[in-house]
Chains A and B, each alone.
Chain A
């Protein structure tokens, strides 16, 4: 973060501003797993000594640790990218039933436009599905403000709060005026079994509370400062949220705008009043028809974007076509494709694997770039951990085909270990390669249990990947430096022939590792 002393104003990204705001709100515990565009939230939170911050092993673990801290009585925060929340959905759904003790906010960063993700899912739906309030800032300054309000909201309504960012709010920078930290009162840990033990009887009672809470939240939304009206001529009005608001303002600086910062539950009365105050109403939102669907249910008359705009991110130049209901005409711009860095150890692995003409089931990481020329040596990439389990399925579905699974070190720790146990337990055979570059590389180089360092840079217990592979039940475990590519080729050939459950760990640090 770049600190400008003058007037306590900083050029902060949404992520930096959020970290600062959370610190000011008295945040005590934070946990996350890195993922673009959310990574900098925890990296910045970790710079504050008052906050106990960690890279967790995966998002489910992060959610449980952070949420547990809130029940323990300290304001706490979870952060991940959109697909990360998928991993944490299990605790998330039930945490909404249980409520909180001290304030708890789950920050989730969506990636419209797929800048660095495997899908374009719209997290806003999760609020309806999970019955949790959803807050969305329009820019970095609002992220700094709203995150503080989100903790207040959480405590006032005894609920986890979903806080949604997108790439363009998380990574866009602006001047952000800041304040100082106010210590939040810690709350005593109580043994409230009816609230914290979600057996059917208790959960039923809590479900009643959840529904009552939603009604109360909807009432609160009507006057919440999250939702702001900019007055303007009655001719044309907009309902919008997030970065889309900025795009609308660029084209219609003086128009009437209802900017929603609390997207669920919606401020129904406020929306109706606004709709009545303008002759023509246009809803501008990125990705899915989330507001559109809810406003349709309210039988409000408005115009929304052509469905073709549900794909990809919105850009300011699209606004005129959106207002007139026109179809999207431009395709994503041709960009220079990313590629493995020169000297990246993964080059050697793909160079070797290419010779075996196997179906290579990949995972999420820099090595996904092995799918691009010159290697074209990666044939699937679905999710974290899929590099171990997906090949097991392929082998079962297409017996006799040569299949190799490929995964990274951080990814293996994230969710590959259970897959390896599953393969051993269910007697699956075949070759798995763990490309161990001793870092979470794709997101810019974060620590994980296999690096022996914590988020705060402290030394800690080192997880030896070869040891865990052995105890999970791999028949053979080899560790090799992929730069010795001849030897690597020979080893792969040998292990493929044997037909055992084998793991080869190709170990060589990422060249960007500091």
Chain B
């Protein structure tokens, strides 16, 4: 995807359940996109559903973007922190879109603490997006004021994981 020239917006759907850091994840990606000079639109849910219910966050960026919501069948990438939520929202993914759900298990194995699972997956995601590692790290530092070095490490491990996966995919 990062080799394509972006004309229509990139659509990424983040999902999981309350407390998993879904909104933080889309925030980091959104800030990274904004720092890269893109127009960003992003939806969030607050309140009731954050009590362990389904949480999703739509993120779109590009030259011009209008709607904060992605249409079914139009998401380029699905970033899920919960397999059941993937099932629920799979229909948003476009044909041939990228589903990062399979990285949840990898993340759990690789990070020292459950808290860093979403940062690891952000690293994986970054391997597939036209945003530089520098802006990602800047976005990470803005959103996570605590445990910054651990978060950076988890992110870079995720990036590595994503890159090797991307190479496999292309071969």
Contact = CB atoms under 8 A, between A and B. Distances in A.
- Decide whether A and B are members of one complex: yes
Interface of A: 2-4, 6, 9, 11, 13, 36-37, 39-40, 115-116, 139, 168, 171-175, 243, 245-247, 249-250, 253, 315-317, 333-341, 366, 369, 442-444
A13 B67 contact: no
A175 B45 contact: no
B46 A168 contact: no
Interface stretch (B47-55, B124-132, B146-154, B156-164): B47-55
A168 B43 contact: yes
A444 B52 CA distance: 13
Contact of A4 (B31, B44, B46, B88): B31
Contact of B51 (A3, A333, A340): A340
Nearest to B72: A317
Nearest to B59: A173
Contacts of B44: 13, 171-173
Contact of B53 (A3, A245, A247, A337): A337
Interface of B: 17-19, 27, 30-31, 34-35, 39-54, 65-72, 84-85, 88, 142-143
B47 A116 contact: yes
Given A139-B68, A175-B40, A316-B69, 13 more contacts: A115-B47, A139-B41, A173-B30, A174-B41, A335-B49, A336-B17, A336-B52, A338-B18, A338-B51, A338-B53, A341-B51, A442-B51, A444-B47
B68 A168 contact: yes
Q: Which of A3, A171, A341 has the most CB of B within 10 A?
A: A171
A140 to B, nearest CB: 9
A246 B71 CA distance: 12
Nearest to A441: B51
Contact of B66 (A4, A250, A317): A250
A91 to B, nearest CB: 26
Nearest to B73: A317
14 contacts: A2-B31, A2-B142, A37-B46, A168-B68, A175-B39, A243-B68, A250-B66, A315-B71, A316-B67, A338-B18, A339-B53, A369-B51, A442-B47, A444-B47
Contacts of B54: 335-336
A11 B48 CA distance: 24
Given A2-B27, A4-B31, A168-B69, A443 B47 contact: yes
B43 A366 contact: no
Nearest to A36: B47
Contacts of B30: 11, 173
A118 to B, nearest CB: 10
A9 B47 contact: no
A335 B31 CA distance: 28
Given A2-B142, A2-B143, A336-B84, A172 B49 contact: no
B143 A36 contact: no
A222 B123 CA distance: 51
A174 B31 contact: no
A115 B35 contact: no
Contacts of B40: 11, 173-175
A9 B34 contact: yes
Contact of A115 (B39, B45, B65, B72): B45
B68 A172 contact: yes
A399 B41 CA distance: 55
Nearest to B16: A336
A250 B58 CA distance: 15
A171 B45 contact: yes
Contacts of A173: 27, 30, 40-44, 68
Among A11, A115, A333, max chain B CB count under 10 A is at A11
A337 to B, nearest CB: 6
A78 to B, nearest CB: 20
B53 A335 contact: yes
A36 B48 CA distance: 9
A209 to B, nearest CB: 39
B67 A249 contact: yes
Contacts of A2: 27, 31, 142-143
A172 B42 contact: yes
A129 B52 CA distance: 39
Contacts of B51: 338-341, 366, 369, 442
Given A172-B42, A315-B69, A335 B143 contact: no
Nearest to B56: A335
B31 A11 contact: yes
Contact of A316 (B27, B39, B45, B71): B71
